[in-house]
Amino acid sequence: MQSNIEAVNVKRILVLNGPNLNLLGTREPEIYGRTTLGDIEEILRGRAHEAGVDVIDFLQSNFEGELVEAIQKSRGRYDFILLNAGALTHYSIALRDAISSVPVPVIEIHLSNIHRREEFRRTSVIAPVVLGQICGFGVDSYIAALDIAIRKIQKDIK
């Protein structure tokens, strides 16, 4: 049986991916690259394991409500959320409200640089309620977000 002190030191990260990210590797590879979402999950699992993260869970959904529910249920279950909301980034007030309703820090991730793309992609309605945003570095955007989350978790534990 774990003591309460050990339970507090468990590091848990949730990685959420929104609409169309299940098509990574084949969808517009000139913008998003050829790396699949499965490849990204494998890379993050390995990096998290090396860093001593106990739980790294992944969810991809094309449905806004499923992502909202995952964020709502994260309270007390996760220390951090890494979120690539895809197109929902630009218009989902429901996602924004879910993020601001739970005390779990969120890092917004984008493979492409949304600020160099079409005008409608340059606005993130979730940016004001997340810890920070990383975009434009392809798969490295995910790796950087994971590394930051791990450092923040470790800093809070010490």
Instruction: Kindly report the three-state secondary structure assignment for every residue of 61-75.
Output: CCCHHHHHHHHHCCC
Q: Which one of the listed residues 32, 49, 78, 91 is annotated catalytic?
A: 32
pLDDT score recorded for residue 155: 86
Residue 66 half-sphere exposure toward CB, CA atoms < 13 A: 11
Q: Which one of the listed residues 78, 90, 110, 142 is annotated catalytic?
A: 110
pLDDT band at 157 (very low <50, low <70, confident <90, very high): low
Q: Please confirm, yes or no, whether 110 is among the known catalytic residues.
A: yes
What are the domain boundaries of the chain? 4-157
Q: Residue 124: is it exposed, middle or buried by C-beta count within 10 angstroms (0-12/13-18/19+)?
A: buried
Q: Please confirm, yes or no, whether 142 is among the known catalytic residues.
A: no
Q: How confident is the model over 34-93, as pLDDT tens digits?
A: 899 999 999 999 999 999 898 999 999 999 999 999 999 999 999 999 999 999 999 999
Q: What is the rounded radius of gyration, in angstroms, for the C-alpha atoms of the chain?
A: 15
CATH of domain 4-157: 3.40.50.9100
Which tokens hold the place of 57? 């869970």
pLDDT, greater one: 155 or 83: 83
In terms of residues, how long is the chain? 158
